[in-house]
Structure 1
């Protein structure tokens, strides 16, 4: 009898414990722009692919540098980095990681047309494979910030090319299914590091925010990325905030009228009521932006004044220009409240605005094909060094052959800014570097190649079924999620 009772209790315990949910569903408004880890540096792409691919060096959730596929490094001299490759690491195709794969990843980025990650090209001279577990990187000049550039350089298997159908990295998860509406991940049984708790992760792409909220309310998802800051969903859902590391700004083509007119750019800059946007649309969780690097990052200049809201002055400038044409202003539906507010600011100073609120995919296609005069966009700092993650790629003259200005699609070019960027890159003196960054930002606020509006937080809806904290870089890593 006692044996039968033991068996029954054992079976009951087994059924109870097997009910523990081991699948997490994460909702975005759109799919990644690519599944090639060396092509795009936007947040949804990086967030999804970071579960599959890893880099030599990584950031922890607070953006502190930690070893990853490199387990050690040193600088024998001012132009040389020696990097030891972690042993026993396997790609998802069961191939062992070697220094050959790392070298291939470097050269693939350098030669890939359209890659937004070629900033290493301006720094790295040669990559040498010393042996299977050791590589040597020669830089073009003494550069002590190399590691920060390696945190977004995914390591892929040598000669691998099937990124769209079969993403293959060393990460804790591998891809098992891809559709236009979702990507399904499963735990990598051969992972060298700590085994994650979540067995399966599903990233779903649901354009409408109301539908995303409905899914998490009905326990059909565990994380919703990017919801309104005033959302009240249910007691079973947490509203979590990541700090204000996202810069929401206006972008336009400086070769096109009227944006090629300095007075026009100055007018629209003065027309935007940043304080009211922060208060009314973000419930004071956002900060008015007064420069291009957010507060708390290297390169932020605390003594810079706020950008004034002066609609009367802006109106006079518009009249002085004699503008009588309509501008086509676009934004993604996910930021529609901000877009509508900015459009009304424009109208209040006498600008005729054709306003376009678009689904994410249509918006990005329009941006890439130059269909809009002006659009609302954002950038996210992927490292604590704002100079490396923002200034170099966005404001140096576009020079793909040097890996400079790779995000500068708006035709900005100022020799003074280029000179200061080059000087800040090459100097070993922190004070000189900071002085250069300050002067760069000062000049950018005069030229207004883009217009910073707000530093916004990222707001998440999170089920109480899981334990998870947002990262500063906005990446959602399945391995950092615990099941309650």
Structure 2
């Protein structure tokens, strides 16, 4: 390229930056299903709604805690935390943020009728909020709660004026009022979420007048939209397309570690769960069968070939960098003969049949590889990819005998996965809320509760790792691969991939 051509190109890029700074178009794989910040906990919702609402405690790209709406917090005693709010923060409707709004938000979380996946896990053990003054409040807990600030990264704050509203009022936009960098412009189910800049955001300058989250669930279509210039940024880049995008100097690939792992969840409780064909038995109740299912997997091959190198093999259900996970754990190699021997020892020398139910986001190719591996050892496996609209509903009704999905340790600590999935369901408020496989016993429940209440970080780390070791040793949840956060955008944008995989428009910056 000649000097003159470089000057023309540089001038053209300079002239386009102000235009770019006006509107940001983001193609997303999974759109939010609601504007209600306390309804249906999942990445699609929390990731989108963090553009509109804020939390008391925030996280950076590597999951480290930072002040959010609360500028500071401290332990008063074993059952009391005191928080100080930032002065001068206002909601989108101009109302000032006060402690009363926090109390109303906390009260709303467990009381949204018909909530299919509530945020109550993050308020487990919280017994009340005491308003001290407009900017000071105290959170009372049933016992020591060392992970409270971590959990509060997931609780969005709304004004008390709308806390009594229901899901329909939030979805209409009437009650969708936050303190975040953007306010709602327009939205309807499966339509773009159009957001307008909040000129008075407490967090600083918002670089875009308008940011739109545009649903493009088909991977090839999302990539095509980026390449054609129809969008400026896309999330969840299809792994087979990552090298092509990375080699094109018109675009950047933004990749980094993720807190999400592809996990297999076998039903260990019911005698004859759905999709299992074993003469009215449930072989997965036997630890030898579960270990056989684990040993059958070629995790390294799945990471390198199926996931195009954008995953790391693992047999634990959380990344090793998460607090409480097992660091430097060697991944067991595939051992078909040992797996077959375990099946025979458990009384299933001829194997059995089952259906592996699979979530549609990023995991279908992994499911096919798992099914092929299990079939090799005699577990004749069919795969059913369940549409996103019904996957969670069916999971909640326990319509799966075994399923595979991506799960994220959203708090950056294994107490989340252990409290929600290893603890028995329905015995302690807020715990066992994502336990759809029948895990839990009085002994493990007590250990989970003890770890969650241990204030000393070193001791809590030891307890959490011991629980994770039990999960792995007994193949209660089968880790398959650690996913990576892979997004892409035009070369005129800069972005740091987030471990939580959220797309925060305010963090996407013009170069």
Same-fold call, TM cutoff 0.5 = yes
Distance 1:305 1:400, change over 3 A: same
| Alignment pair present for 1:38 and 2:38 | yes
Matched with 1:468 is 495
User: Would the aligned equivalents of 2:53 and 2:178 in 1 still touch at CA under 8 Å?
Assistant: yes
Name whichever of 58-67 and 349-358 sits farther off: 349-358
Name whichever of 440-449 and 363-372 sits farther off: 363-372
Matched with 1:429 is 456
For residues 282-307 of structure 1, the C-alpha deviation after alignment (integer angstroms, 9 at most, x for no partner) is: 34342211323312121122254423
Matched with 1:26 is 26
Using the alignment, how far apart are the partners of 1:361 and 1:242 within structure 2?
A: 28
Secondary structure of the residue aligned to 1:405 is coil
Using the alignment, how far apart are the partners of 2:290 and 2:20 within structure 1?
A: 56
| Alignment pair present for 1:164 and 2:171 | yes
| Alignment pair present for 1:240 and 2:217 | no
| Alignment pair present for 1:251 and 2:260 | no
Gapped runs of 5+ residues in structure 2? 1-13, 274-281
Secondary structure of the residue aligned to 1:97 is coil
Secondary structure of the residue aligned to 1:82 is strand
Distance 1:380 1:429, change over 3 A: same
Mapping of residues 85-164 of structure 1, within 5 Å: 85-112=85-112, 114=115, 115-160=117-162, 161=165, 162-164=169-171
Report the number of matched residues.
470
Using the alignment, how far apart are the partners of 1:94 and 1:202 within structure 2?
A: 23
Secondary structure of the residue aligned to 1:404 is coil
Gapped runs of 5+ residues in structure 1? 1-13
Using the alignment, how far apart are the partners of 2:489 and 2:20 within structure 1?
A: 18
Matched with 1:440 is 467
Q: CA deviation at 1:29?
A: 2.1
Matched with 1:224 is 234
Q: CA deviation at 1:100?
A: 0.9
Mapping of residues 395-414 of structure 1, within 5 Å: 395-399=422-426, 401-414=428-441
User: Would the aligned equivalents of 2:295 and 2:335 in 1 still touch at CA under 8 Å?
Assistant: yes
Using the alignment, how far apart are the partners of 2:391 and 2:151 within structure 1?
A: 29
Distance 1:125 1:270, change over 3 A: same
Matched with 2:323 is 298
User: Would the aligned equivalents of 1:293 and 1:299 in 2 still touch at CA under 8 Å?
Assistant: no
Using the alignment, how far apart are the partners of 2:393 and 2:224 within structure 1?
A: 28
Distance 1:19 1:445, change over 3 A: closer
| Alignment pair present for 1:211 and 2:221 | yes
- TM-score norm. by structure 2 comes to 0.85
Matched with 1:355 is 383
Matched with 2:410 is 382
User: Would the aligned equivalents of 1:197 and 1:482 in 2 still touch at CA under 8 Å?
Assistant: yes
Q: 2:365 aligns with which of 337, 360, 370?
A: 337
User: Would the aligned equivalents of 2:251 and 2:488 in 1 still touch at CA under 8 Å?
Assistant: yes
Distance 1:373 1:399, change over 3 A: closer
Point out 4+ residue stretches in structure 1 off by more than 6 angstroms: 14-17
Q: CA deviation at 1:159?
A: 4.5
Using the alignment, how far apart are the partners of 2:369 and 2:111 within structure 1?
A: 42
- TM-score norm. by structure 1 comes to 0.90
Q: CA deviation at 1:49?
A: 0.4
Q: CA deviation at 1:120?
A: 4.4
Cα RMSD over matched residues?
2.4
Matched with 2:484 is 457
For residues 417-452 of structure 1, the C-alpha deviation after alignment (integer angstroms, 9 at most, x for no partner) is: 212112212223333322211221122123333211
User: Would the aligned equivalents of 2:63 and 2:499 in 1 still touch at CA under 8 Å?
Assistant: yes
Name whichever of 365-374 and 242-251 sits farther off: 365-374
